[in-house]
Amino acid sequence: MVGLLYVVESQDLFHEQTSKLRSYQIVTPQVVTGRWKRHENGSETHRQNGHSDQITYSIKIEDVIHYLNLTKNKDFLSPDFAVVSHDVHKKSVRRHTGKPKSCHYQGRVEGREDSLVALSNCDGIRGVIFIGNESYALEPALQSSNNEHLLFPLDDSQSEPFVCGVADAHGEDNAPEVALSMTSFLRRKRNLPLTRYVELVLVVDNQRVSIKCTLSGNTTAVREEMVQLANLLDTYFQQLNIRIILVGLEIFETQNPFDMNGSAGDVLGRFVDWRKTQLVPRIRNDMAQLVVGRSGAYSGGVLGMAFVGTVCSASTGGGIGVYGNNALQYFSTVLAHEMGHNLGMNHDDTRCQCSGGSCIMASSASGSTLFSTCSGSDFEQLILRGGGVCLRNQPSQDSIITVPACGNGIQEQGEECDCGPPQSCTSKCCDAATCKLTKGSTCAAGSCCKDCQLSVSGTPCRPSVNECDLPEFCMGDTGFCPPDTYLMDGLSCQGNTAFCYEGRCQTLDYQCQQLFGSKATKADDKCFSYVNTQGTRFGNCGYSGSSLVPCSVANSMCGKIQCTNFDSNYPPPGAVISVETIEGSISCRNADFNLGTDVLDPGYVKKGTVCAAGKVCVDFNCVNSSVLMQTQNCDALNDCHGNGVCNDKGHCHCNNGWAPPNCNKGGRGGSVDSGPAEIGMCTQTRSKSSCYMPLDANGRQSMTEVSLSKTPNPQLLPGRRG
């Protein structure tokens, strides 16, 4: 009786697993222990011998045997790994520690340069295989005891269509087809020679936790699944020389800390608000993605939503993705799509090509694992415009969720350097086989490493890019520049007419120029009060459900941005321009951006923009500017003794000649976050600072004198505390 029950249950599970697939194969991957040696059962081998740093599987795909040459990916869980679980009912937060499984791999199909493989063999083998124009998903067959696995086309794994925008908007119908291969992506990687590091936090909502726990019985399976997801994401983004580093995982076990009802835009707004106030102070990250366990898409077939180009923003650096009953492999491409938006990538059109036909940033998802030429260009433009500053620094060894192992380009605990596998390492400073520095070298990578030697403490490594940004300097003990810092939110800029917010002086002129070109300027205030109170696509204060909300007169400066002085015949991508003249001579121009239903319209006035005397825009409302400083606890006059300014961490950035942390003693300037602003050691007098420079090539030591005239402290607009 028990045996019969098991067989029926097994058949039911297998039927459920395959019911949504149009086609699939039953395969039995084998570990190749030597090309002329016998094959071993993959699952048995790993249960006995653990997880090797390198492994080769043989697998039959459409009657052809392929060899998958894989290397362990170490960018995940470490002995210091902590998963944060939230239990609202018990009002507790638990950190789960312990050494996790090291069972995640990346590689290629032997003999195929146009291939990409990302697999995990923690419990069976699961992942994606890309060969030429074909993408496959691989996962264990449920309840099989014979190492049987399901292999199926990746575009079969979605349960419903995913449409996020207009596929053919601004495309060229007669654009020639371009035949691309993996060599195209290698070439693109060379065009973006500096590796960028995205410090990612994954957040799992309660409904997704419930779905997974129903299948597996515990939250450990949630953790392992998210680690597998991060491995897949890292594999995809390496095409663009971007590494995805998982630095945190948040699990909502019993209840979500914010409302999950409403539209995708509603949920995204609440999530990024929670991220800024609750997550960023605990776990520094470049972006966070919310995994939503809905049983179906949001209205309009939306399975994901994200802001465009906001990867380093504390307030909007995030996205959401629906992970219901789809395969993990398919969901990974949905989340990669939303992360691409955060990294400045727009939807592909017919001019954008990749070797798989459809690409990750296509407006209709197909399960593709490749980025198009347009995606690479979009990301490059983000960098050239000064965005993505936070991506320059390699994450600290303590923050990476990883199992240390040498060879994939991420320096981690126990390593002096890591330039990747020996066959691709070109560094003269690092021994790829041992991840140790070569003889005589003191560093191997970073903007504070020159010719294998550490730059002197105080050497500039990242200049300020505007009046709300702060410079960074080499620390002297690492090759990497400190993370980017900027002035505390709420300090005034542009001659006391605007406020700094997230490192930018949030003026309407600047926002118009970002959208419509360098000559664009803010329109007359009357345009805002006239157009935004109408509640049309060109003038509104957001949505309530699917309906546009007209702004009140008091909030009209916080709706759609109204600009002038640009050529409306050449709109930005995805935009439809409206030109209107009021009172006979006042020109009002604005745009409706149709970038897809998973992308929020960038044509709205940004948070922190002045809307009236002593007031700023926050969520379509014109409110007192004091809200910008609610999360900060730093006063330049008192905490920094008038000898510095407050940065975004709430710490003092001291003028030259004064020492952090409080700028009340003589020193080298800068902050505990930015590094010292002067090279060498300084002594303090009333009128000058004497700084002794490092020894020169002839062994001589020079002295320079620096004036102690103070950097003007940013002033506060009326109504702000001093």
Residues with catalytic roles: 338
The DSSP 8-state label assigned to residue 302 in this structure reads B
Whether residue 79 has a cis bond before it, omega within 30° of 0? no
Annotated ligand binding at 337? The verdict is yes
User: Phi and psi (nearest 5°) for 235?
Assistant: -65, -45
C-alpha 448, offset from chain centre: 24
Query: What is the residue whose two structure tokens read 């596929």?
Result: 167
CB 596 within 8 A of CB 347: yes
Residue where the block lists tokens 């260009």: 377
Please return the burial class of 681, using the count of CB atoms within 10 Å of its CB with bins 0-12, 13-18 and 19+. middle
Contacts of 204 (CB under 8 A, 6+ apart): 222, 226, 249, 250, 251, 252, 291, 293
**Would you say 341 is a known binding-site residue?**
yes
CA–CA separation, 361 and 349 (whole Å): 9
Q: What are phi and psi of 436, to 5 degrees?
A: -115, 150
89 known member of a binding site: no
CB atoms closer than 10 angstroms to residue 218:
9
Exposed/middle/buried for 417, CB within 10 Å: 0-12, 13-18, 19+?
A: buried
The beta-strand segments (E) located in 88-195 are: 92-96, 104-109, 115-120, 126-131, 134-140, 149-153
| Residue 676: CB atoms within 10 Å | 25
Structure tokens at 64: 């052809």
Task: For the chain, state the CA radius of gyration.
Answer: 27
Q: Residues comprising the binding site for Zn(2+)?
A: 337, 341, 347
Q: Residues comprising the binding site?
A: 337, 341, 347
